[in-house]
Amino acid sequence: MLNLLSSFLALSLAGLLFPGVRGHGYVQDVVVGSTHYTGYLPYSDPYYNPPPQRIIRKIPGNGPVTDLSLIDIQCNGYADGGEPGSAPAPMFATVPAGSQVHLNWTTWPDSHMGPMITYMAKAPSDITKWSPGNAAVWFKVTESGKTADGKWAATDILTADNSIYTFTVPPKLAPGQYIVRHEIIALHAAYTYPGAQFYPSCIQIAVTGSGNALPTSGLVSFPGAYTPTTPGIVFDAYQDTGAYPIPGPPVWTGGS
Ligand SMILES: *[C@@H]1O[C@H](CO)[C@@H](O)[C@H](O)[C@H]1NC(C)=O
Ligand SMILES: [Cu+2]
């Protein structure tokens, strides 16, 4: 009882002091090997002059995108000063093919169950100047939805892993510059469309190595890859205790 009361008080206090912190989230840190790259921090970075140099494309805040037709669905960026969404960031991380990338999410709310999905797109030129727009350039490298015993990638597994999501860059992936588009789709209101909440994050990396694998077909665009009728976009996470169909194309396995 005392415990309950004190956690209730702590939560209410946190809600009063940090009203923006209670819901939603974003990737706040990227770890490759022993190197940390702070993510784009939407509540402090814009107030620095000059702004800190990041490897993650800027986002407006910790909230979701819900309209699948907008460019915002690509990187949680919006058309801004003539930029067609997903304004490039000035830096990138160097990642050897086959190595792990750890994405540190802000504390994810328990209520926001859903899948975690990661795509990549190879930049045809300097990644710090490239925006894919509506081009079909994305391939899926990993996905996790709901396990057979009902555990969601977010929040169950993410929280058990201290809010760190880890994926491996395909070992045979051709070297070059890539955008990693990583997202959580929160399904707590996805029983209708619009309803599902998309939290994409675009991380700029340079992949090194001697691989030469690259998908040549099945590439998708954002917006475009998901529509209101794509399986998994409308899903009643409370009533439907069956398997969850993760939206988007199959995972590309040609680089493993
Ligand atoms: C995730 O990032 C936060 C903020 O920088 C930090 O406090 C926390 O220790 C990081 N978590 C891990 C497991 O590295
Ligand atoms: Cu939310």
CATH number of the domain to which 86 belongs: 2.70.50.70
Task: Tell me if 114 sits within 8 A of 153, measured CB to CB.
Answer: yes
Count of the separate structural domains present in the chain: 1
Burial class, 105, CB count within 10 angstroms (exposed 0-12 / middle 13-18 / buried 19+): buried
Q: Please work out whether the CB of residue 104 comes within 6 Å of at least one atom of ligand 1.
A: yes
Asked whether residue 220 is domain-assigned, the answer is no
Task: Tell me if 15 sits within 8 A of 34, measured CB to CB.
Answer: no
Instruction: Please report, as a single letter, which amino acid is at residue 36.
Output: H
**For residue range 142-201, what is the model confidence (pLDDT) as tens digits?**
999 999 999 999 999 999 999 999 999 999 999 999 999 999 999 999 999 999 999 999
Instruction: Please report, as a single letter, which amino acid is at residue 254.
Output: G
CA 24 vs CA 15, 125, 160, 248: distances in Å: 13, 33, 17, 22
Asked whether residue 215 is domain-assigned, the answer is no
Asked whether residue 161 is domain-assigned, the answer is yes
Asked whether residue 234 is domain-assigned, the answer is no
Q: Please work out whether the CB of residue 28 comes within 6 Å of at least one atom of ligand 1.
A: yes
CA 135, CA 141: separation in Å to the nearest integer? 18
CA 107, CA 233: separation in Å to the nearest integer? 23
Tally the residues of the chain: 256
Asked whether residue 235 is domain-assigned, the answer is no
Atom of ligand 1 nearest to the CA of 102: 14
Helices (H), 56-133: 72-75
Atom of ligand 1 nearest to the CA of 31: 14
Residues 6+ apart with CB under 8 A from 35: 93
More confident residue, 42 or 20: 42
Asked whether residue 16 is domain-assigned, the answer is no
Q: Domain limits at 122?
A: 24-208
Q: Which residues pair with 65 in a beta bridge?
A: 198
Q: Please work out whether the CB of residue 162 comes within 6 Å of at least one atom of ligand 1.
A: yes
CA 225 to centroid of ligand 1, rounded, Å: 32
User: pLDDT band for position 241 (50/70/90)?
Assistant: confident
Element (H, E) at 147: none
Residue with CA closest to ligand 1 atom 11: 104
Mean pLDDT score, 213-236: 97
In the predicted model, is pLDDT for residue 29 greater than 80?
A: yes
Q: Please work out whether the CB of residue 164 comes within 6 Å of at least one atom of ligand 1.
A: yes
Residues 6+ apart with CB under 8 A from 38: 28, 29, 52, 54
Asked whether residue 224 is domain-assigned, the answer is no
Asked whether residue 244 is domain-assigned, the answer is no
Average pLDDT value for the chain: 90
In the predicted model, is pLDDT for residue 214 greater than 80?
A: yes
Atom of ligand 1 nearest to the CA of 162: 13
In the predicted model, is pLDDT for residue 17 greater than 60?
A: no
